[in-house]
């Protein structure tokens, strides 16, 4: 279900932190933290679900299935990567309606050509401004609730410079976008320029290992950003932990790395609901057991 809380947080000027999640375990763990929202990262979903790079290989169905499952598993507002809308204007309409119905609160749409690429990798190309403007207009009209928000991303900074990215940002806001995401600024000065250019909600992509400086949330807010996503931090932390423990096992060593406690994981993943069900319907479950 679309969350009204996210729009209220934006209106109140509360800074929103959204850790990136890439599967249902990471989503459940992030949901138990003090973060205000959760970000479904396309980079992480494609890697964990398909074992492939984020290079336009995931389909609308792939991403919608993951978004619906994550939205159902969490209580916080979900920001979900919708790539380019998976086609032309009719596809964008279909994508927006699908994501909203799935329980996503904010859909991210970007102005790359198809197939798109991760925003911090080379050789990205963008469509004409008017093509993206038309997509945003269709996306804005397609939603059934104004609590479902449109996050417009431009990748023009890398190909055409910051001035072009700022011009596109203004056009995207005028077309109906609720939040703007200028991808891959490469310095604090560029980030300050972005923050000073708009008196509307701005997102900072705090991608660990990427081109953009990783800054304290307080500093991001002072620059003019309203929220920050952290797409890769959970994915990379999990990958490093897995590499460490698997290497230990492969070398016939005892695992000494910190592990999530078994009992805590059992509780987090929801076994108590199963036990409650079994207790409530014990008599009925006994009837399912074949006679000996």
User: What is the CATH number that goes with domain 5-232?
Assistant: 3.20.20.60
- Bridge partners (DSSP) of residue 17 are 228
As a whole number of angstroms, the distance between CA 284 and CA 266 comes to 25
Looking up tokens 């080379």 gives: 122
- Predicted local distance difference test score (pLDDT) of residue 292: 57
HEC assignment per residue over the chain:
CCCCHHHHHHHCCCCEEEEEECCHHHHHHHHCCCCCCEEECHHHHHHHHHCCCCCCCCCHHHHHHHHHHHHHHCCCCEEEECCCCCCCHHHHHHHHHHHHHHCCCEEEEECECCCCCCCCCCCCCECCHHHHHHHHHHHHHHCCCCCCEEEEEECHHHHHCHHHHHHHHHHHHHHCCCEEEECCCCCHHHHHHHHHHCCCCEEEECCCCCCCCCCCHHHHHHHCCCEEEECCHHHHHHHHHHHHHHHHHHCCCCCCCCCCCHHHHHHHHCHHHHHHHHHHCHHHHHHHCCCC
What share of the chain has pLDDT > 70, as a percent? 98
What share of the chain has pLDDT > 90, as a percent? 89
Q: Which of 170, 211, 159, 218 is nearest to 194 (CA)?
A: 170
- Is residue 291 over pLDDT 90? no
- Predicted local distance difference test score (pLDDT) of residue 26: 98
- Bridge partners (DSSP) of residue 149 are 106
Distance of CA 182 to the CA centre of its chain: 15
**Summary mean pLDDT of the chain:** 95
As a whole number of angstroms, the distance between CA 71 and CA 198 comes to 30
Q: Left, alpha or beta for 85 (phi > 0: left; psi -120 to 50: alpha)?
A: left
Per the CB < 8 A criterion, the answer to whether 155 and 182 are in contact is: no
- Bridge partners (DSSP) of residue 244 are none
- Is residue 82 over pLDDT 70? yes
User: Residue 1: pLDDT band by 50, 70, 90 thresholds?
Assistant: confident
Per the CB < 8 A criterion, the answer to whether 274 and 280 are in contact is: no
> For 167-224, what is each residue's pLDDT tens digit?
999 999 999 999 999 999 999 999 999 999 999 999 999 999 999 999 999 999 999 9
- Predicted local distance difference test score (pLDDT) of residue 3: 85
- Predicted local distance difference test score (pLDDT) of residue 148: 98
- Predicted local distance difference test score (pLDDT) of residue 85: 96
**Peptide bond preceding 171 in cis form (omega within 30 of 0):** no
- Predicted local distance difference test score (pLDDT) of residue 32: 97
Residue extents of the structural domains in the chain: 5-232, 240-288
- Bridge partners (DSSP) of residue 179 are 151
């Amino acid at each position: 279900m679309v969350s009204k809380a996210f729009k209220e947080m934006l209106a109140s000027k509360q800074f929103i932190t959204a850790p990136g999640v890439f599967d249902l375990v990471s989503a459940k763990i992030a949901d138990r933290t003090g973060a205000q929202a959760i970000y479904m990262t396309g980079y992480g979903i494609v890697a964990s679900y398909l074992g492939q790079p984020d290079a336009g290989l995931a389909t609308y169905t792939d991403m919608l299935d993951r978004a619906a499952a994550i939205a159902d598993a969490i209580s916080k507002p979900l920001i979900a990567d919708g790539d380019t809308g998976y086609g032309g204007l009719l596809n964008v309409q279909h994508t927006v309606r699908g994501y909203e119905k799935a329980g996503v609160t904010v859909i991210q749409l970007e102005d790359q050509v198809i197939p798109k690429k991760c925003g911090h990798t080379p050789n990205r190309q963008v469509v004409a401004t008017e093509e993206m403007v038309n997509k945003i207009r269709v996306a804005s009209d397609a939603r059934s609730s104004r609590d479902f928000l449109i996050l417009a991303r431009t990748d023009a900074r890398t190909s055409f410079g910051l001035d072009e990215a700022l011009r596109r940002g203004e056009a995207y806001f005028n077309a109906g976008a609720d939040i703007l995401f200028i991808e891959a600024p490469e310095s604090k000065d560029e980030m300050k320029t972005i923050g000073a250019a708009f008196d509307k909600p701005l997102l900072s992509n705090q991608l660990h290992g990427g081109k953009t400086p990783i800054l304290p949330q307080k500093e991001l807010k002072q620059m003019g950003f309203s929220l920050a996503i952290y797409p890769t931090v959970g994915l990379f932390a999990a990958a490093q932990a897995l590499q460490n423990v698997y290497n230990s096992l492969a070398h016939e060593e005892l695992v000494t790395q910190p592990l999530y406690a078994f009992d805590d994981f059992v509780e987090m993943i929801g076994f108590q609901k199963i036990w409650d069900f079994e207790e409530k319907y014990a008599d009925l479950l006994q009837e399912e057991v074949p006679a000996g």
